[in-house]
Amino acid sequence: MPIWTKNTTRTQRVLLWLFERFSMHCLANVVEPLRAANTIARRQVFEWQFVTLDGSSVTSSSGLPVLPHAALAEAGRADVLFVMPSYDARAHATPRCLSALREAASRHGAIAAMDMGSWLLARAGLLKGRRATIHWDEIDAFAETFPEVEVEHRRYVIDGTLMSSGGAMTAFDLTTRLVGDLLGEGMRLEVSALFMSADIERPEEPLRRRPRGRMVESAIALMRRHIEDPLPLPEVARRLGLGLRDLEGRFAAELGAGPRSVYRSLRLSAARRYVEQSTYPVSEIALRCGYKDASAMTRAFSAEFGTTPRDLRQGRGA
């Protein structure tokens, strides 16, 4: 069952294995959500290094040269190794590369094949009997070439310690899923909202026309639009065409938390952004986040973040 908030103190180590003509778009959609999670958590939840097979520089498909931190074999163990070829993936499937992939599979916690990465994993024999996806332009050829792989036409696939995504945009989906698995659904939604993704409602789309499987997403979008003037939960449910118990059941099943707790977290996250990014007094922030007075918000803020708004603003936060 999903959990709204998780606590972890250990920094997750990530390696990004880049190949000649890798996609900068794909790379950014992995690194930026990790960077955002660190920013929101206010600590280094993730640290990452760029690696190549031999430690030499590579150039992206858009012509940007990148000097890696190390060769793959010298980088040490990681929690996740992202394998990131894009163009010319077939040409990268050299005996040396495939041998390095097999060694990496035994050394690192998990491997994520991004864009055309599944082609290399399949060539290395790592996907036999496993589920995977690949860039959708290549998915038919991939299925024909590797009949031993259970190919799925999905945005991303997680099969144990082997993961795969189908392109630059889906790299964002997979990475935010990993953020959510580690830090909880609340953090996943915070990161997604920072990039105007996932749970942002289209204003012109009537809520009652939304697919019922996305009702929680719609409810969260509605809550975000009513931070300063919080809606009663029965009104949230009514606008979605649901009963309150139905709404509460959906939140529990999809997020592991009730709508009241989620709404409170959204308002307090907005308060934290005001504290960190504005010069508004705490009393003004309280009003903008739906609290009648500053003391009520300060108590809730301290319970949520372990520090007061004033201490956080003055750099004394935990």
Q: Could you write out the DSSP letters of every residue in 119-160? A: HHHHHTT--TT-EE---GGGHHHHHHH-TTSEE--SSEEEET
Three-class secondary structure of residue 19 per DSSP: coil
What pLDDT, on a 0 to 100 scale, did the predictor assign at position 317?
A: 57
Residue 5 pLDDT level (bands cut at 50, 70, 90): confident
Q: Please work out, in degrees rounded to the nearest 5, the angle formed at the alpha carbon of residue 91 by the alpha carbons of 85 and 92.
A: 45
Give the C-alpha separation, 41 to 157, whole Å.
26
- Whole-prediction pTM value? 0.80
Contact at 8 Å (CB) between 148 and 128?
yes
**Angstrom distance (rounded) from CA 273 to CA 42:** 12
**Separation CA 27–CA 85 (nearest Å):** 10
CA 61, 124, 176, 78 torsion: positive or negative? negative
CA distances from 141 to 61, 68, 86, 90, 316 (A): 22, 31, 15, 12, 56
Q: What is the pLDDT of residues 98-132, one digit of tens each?
A: 999 999 999 999 999 999 999 999 999 999 999 99
DSSP string over 176-211:
HHHHHHHH-HHHHHHHHHHTT-SSPPPTTS-GGGS-
High-pLDDT (> 90) share of the chain, %: 77
In terms of pLDDT, which residue wins out, 85 or 190?
A: 85
CATH topology of domain 12-185: Rossmann fold (3.40.50)
Tokens coding 107: 């050394």
Taking alpha carbons only, the member of 19, 13, 87 closest to residue 54 is 19
Domain ranges of the chain: 12-185, 200-318
Alpha-carbon span 178 to 192, nearest angstrom? 12
Q: What is the pLDDT of residues 204-260, one digit of tens each?
A: 344 444 444 589 989 998 999 999 999 999 999 999 999 999 999 999 998 889 999
What's the CATH superfamily of 200-318? Homeodomain-like (1.10.10.60)
User: If you average pLDDT over residues 187-192, what whole number do you get?
Assistant: 88
